[in-house]
Amino acid sequence: MAHAADAKKALDSRGYTGSLIRGDNPLKLFEKPVRDRIIESYYWKEQCFGLNAATLLDRAIELTFIGGTYGVSQRPTPFLCLVFKMLQLTPDKEVILFYLQQEEFKYLRALAAFYIRLAWEKDAEVYETLEPYLADSRKLRRRTREGWTLTHVDEFVDDLLIKGRICATTLPKLNPRVMLEDEDKLEPRISALGEELEELDADDDGSDGEVVEVANGQANGIGQAEEDGENDAEMVAD
């Protein structure tokens, strides 16, 4: 896509001729107040001017937390500004997948996941692409309106797939997985636990299949470590 350093045209949706997402200007995925906050923020003005898909990587690598807006004045996080920039650039699918598959930078992964959830229109694709990352248990720092919390990559991806509103944006409607399974567009989800889950089910034949509390260093956890590693690798490679 032709990259214009001065992106005024994208922000003004009257004569917009770029690529559309869900039939409208991609920037419209963010609400007007949030859009205004982003554009007026210093991070956007200083760091996000004239970025392209490659230089965006530099910025993404420097991210240290995710979040929407925070504080009384609703300041946007750099994470949000970068997502906004990505919406403006609308990079190709391959680029996004490349971002997503980077093992080394978890915030970049979170960025790509958020973009995928916002921008991709085929629900089945969204589920298929994001579900493998439910196995990534790395910690993420999250900035909420009042303070800081700890979250994980898999929690973040789960929120993206289930919740309606995250990081100061209302996520576009996504059909529930059950519906897609009924329409045979998707297979039922294969959890990363895989074999362990079957074992647990076998154990809990009598009870309702409650959650088994796995304490620190229990045999269940350690003994299966290698196997799980394999499973995880399979899942991710999928």
Partner 1 sequence: MPPKRMTANQDRSHRYYPGKVEYAEDALSSDSENSDAEASSAHQPAKPTLPKATSFPKDARLAANLSKIDLDARRAQAAAQEAERLKREADARAKEEEEFVTDDDNDEEDGSGREQESGSEEEEEEQEESTSSEDDVPKRRMPAPKFISKTNRKQCSVPVFSEEELAAQEDARRKERADEMLQLQLEKQAAAKAAGKKDWDDDEEGLADEVDDADDVDPEEERALWKIRELLRIKRDRDAIESAEKEREEIERRRNLSKEERDAEDREYIDTQKEEHEGKGKMGHMQKYFHRGAYTFDADDETKQLLNRDIMGSRFQDDARDKSMLPSALQIRDMTKIGKKGRTRYRDMKSEDTGRWGDLGVRDRRKDGEYKLDERFRSDGDAERAGGTGANAYAVGERRKRVDDSRDGRRDDKRPNLHYVYYDPA
For tokens 């299949």, name the residue. Answer: 209
Q: Does 64 bind partner 1 (CB under 8 A)?
A: yes
Give whichever of 42 and 237 is closer to partner 1, judged by the CB atom.
42
Q: Does 217 bind partner 1 (CB under 8 A)?
A: yes
Q: Does 42 bind partner 1 (CB under 8 A)?
A: yes
- Which of 29, 100, 140, 235 lies at the binding interface for partner 1 (CB under 8 A)? 140
Helix axes 78-89, 32-40, angle to 10 degrees: 100
Q: Which amino acid is located at 229 in the chain?
A: G
Give whichever of 39 and 95 is closer to partner 1, judged by the CB atom.
39
Q: Does 3 bind partner 1 (CB under 8 A)?
A: no
Determine the longest span between alpha carbons in the chain, in angstroms.
65
Q: Which of 129, 139, 142, 137 is nearest to 99 (CA)?
A: 129
Provide, rounded to whole angstroms, the least separation between the CB of residue 214 and partner 1. Answer: 5
Report phi then psi at 22, rounded to 5.
55, 35
184: left (phi over 0), alpha (psi -120 to 50) or beta: left
Q: Does 163 bind partner 1 (CB under 8 A)?
A: no
Whether the CB-CB separation of 67 and 143 falls below 8 Å is answered with yes
List interacting residues with partner 1 (CB under 8 A). Answer: 41-43, 45-47, 64-65, 78, 106, 134-135, 137-143, 147-150, 152, 154-155, 158, 177-178, 189, 191-193, 196-197, 200, 209-218, 221-222, 225, 228
